[in-house]
Amino acid sequence: MEIKEASEHRAEPPCPIYHQCGGCQIQHLSYEAQLLTKQKQVKDVLERIGGLKDVVVHPTLGMEEPWRYRNKAQVPVGEEGGLIIAGFYQERSHRIIDMDECLIQHEENDQIIRVVKKIANKYGIRGYDEEKHRGTLRHVVARKGKVTNEVMVVFVTRGKELPNKKAIIEEIIAEVPNVKSIVQNINTKRTNVIFGDETTVLWGDEYIHDYIGEIKFAISARSFYQVNPEQTKVLYDKALDYANLTGNESVIDAYCGIGTISLFLAQRAKHVYGVEIVPDAIADAKRNAELNGFTNVDFAVGEAEKVMPWWYAQGIRADVIVVDPPRKGCDEELLETIVSMKPKRVVYVSCNPATLARDLKFLEAGGYKTKEVQPVDMFPHSTHIENVAVLELKN
Ligand code: SAH
């Protein structure tokens, strides 16, 4: 409410809309202090929830340039005084605040949003009115392959109709450098969910591509792909390092998404089995395996906690198991399966220190020892913190 005495770590937030926007939470903390705070937070939670007192928690691996790191912008569109606005929702509301730039977003994505606003105004495209469920343009999504420079622009519309489609496409091509794909997604529902079920390519390819390390990924409008590819490489390199593979190992990657970690592991393992609950993600994973010529990976659709016991019953054994669960952590059934499969090592990638701590405690009781934990800063200026931990089977 009032600053009585400023902390020595207090920083002037460089973003002019920091106090209205819900996107970043800790721009007013110096970046150095953000990294230290995150490390300390992980240590505290491991001790408090996991009862893990003597685990080494390394200093957070941060970014040299912790700005402009996002490769994807998905921005809600509305109208104010008859003009298109596009920006972000005011904290704890659905009121759109118009925005020209976002300092954690790649400049080119900001530029795309500005261009789309301009074109939409020029051609009389109506912004979506959430309350009345009227208007045309609901969201603009801009995606960029940081390594390939390929760009995708997605118009999410309320219906099939996109007036002046042809002229709009021509202007996007003229104004957006490196655009490879222009896509329309149709979302007819009254919902907060951004994408609808129907996607059509308006111009160019269905996919753009990007690399993490040596591995190439095809990214469609709706594909999940990490938003900070630079730090993703740091995280996956650490996971690979902790997996300590020689080329003879059989590895399971549970909660594999589009197979990013699986393919990283496949570079050094004999065989990798990936499991994931979303069918589209597995389709992407298979495509990406093929794109990179991997023949030593298999992907299955299903709940990891159901598929893994089934694999085990089929006689599949794993030398190393990697898990990367959503925020709620691993299902207990899955942890029990790990304990009975007895892999030499477990590598746990986590986006939530609290559930990481809970699950490490379970695995410790099941015969594992947590060796070390490495926090990685995937989302500078937010309170999110990603960790990778390695456990070894005792004796
Ligand atoms: N490892 C991937 C994605 C991790 S995100 C990457 O780095 O890109 C967690 C993933 O777990 C999501 O893709 C989510 O769809 C999936 N998931 C959630 N619950 C699951 C379950 N019970 N079984 C398998 N996958 C699940």
81-102 residue pLDDT tens? 999 999 988 878 888 989 999 9
Ligand 1 binding pocket includes 252 (Cβ within 6 Å):
no
Residue with tokens 């690399």: 211
- 351 sits in the region (left: phi over 0; alpha: psi -120 to 50; else beta) called alpha
Ligand 1 binding pocket includes 280 (Cβ within 6 Å):
no
Q: What would the CATH number be for the domain defined by 72-219?
A: 2.40.50.1070
Q: Which atom of ligand 1 is nearest to the CA of 331?
A: 22
**Entry pTM:** 0.94
> Which residues carry out catalysis?
351
pLDDT, averaged across the chain = 96
335-346 residue pLDDT tens? 999 999 999 999
Q: Where in the chain is the domain with CATH 2.40.50.1070?
A: 72-219
198 HSE (CA, 13 A, CB side): 10
- 154: closest CA among 165, 145, 141? 141
Pairing of strands 179-186, 151-157: parallel
Residue with tokens 């694999």: 311
252-301 residue pLDDT tens? 999 999 999 999 999 999 999 999 999 999 999 999 999 999 999 999 99
Please report, in tens digits, the pLDDT of each residue of the chain (395 residues total). Answer: 899 999 999 999 999 999 888 889 999 999 999 999 999 999 999 999 999 998 999 999 999 999 999 999 999 999 999 999 999 888 788 889 899 999 999 999 999 999 999 999 999 999 999 999 999 999 999 999 999 999 999 999 999 999 999 999 999 999 999 999 999 999 999 999 999 999 999 999 999 999 999 999 999 999 989 999 999 999 999 999 999 999 999 999 999 999 999 999 999 999 999 999 999 999 999 999 999 999 999 999 999 999 999 999 999 999 999 999 999 999 999 999 999 999 999 999 999 999 999 999 999 999 999 999 999 999 999 999 999 999 999 97
**Number of CB atoms found within 10 A of residue 159's CB:** 11
Helix (H) or strand (E) holding 300: strand 297-301
Q: What would the CATH number be for the domain defined by 38-64+228-393?
A: 3.40.50.150
Q: 186 - beta bridge partners?
A: 157, 198
Ligand 1 binding pocket includes 303 (Cβ within 6 Å):
yes
Residue whose CA is at the smallest distance from ligand 1 atom 12: 257
SS3 343: coil
Q: Where in the chain is the domain with CATH 3.40.50.150?
A: 38-64+228-393
pLDDT at 184: 98
Rounded Cα distance, 134 and 157, in Å: 10
Q: Rounded to the nearest whole angstrom, what is the distance from the C-alpha of residue 257 to the centroid of ligand 1?
A: 5
Helix (H) or strand (E) holding 138: strand 137-144
Residue whose CA is at the smallest distance from ligand 1 atom 16: 255
Rounded Cα distance, 369 and 282, in Å: 32
CB 96 within 8 A of CB 159: no
Q: How far is CA 43 from CA 50, 58, 362, 380, in A?
A: 10, 9, 17, 19
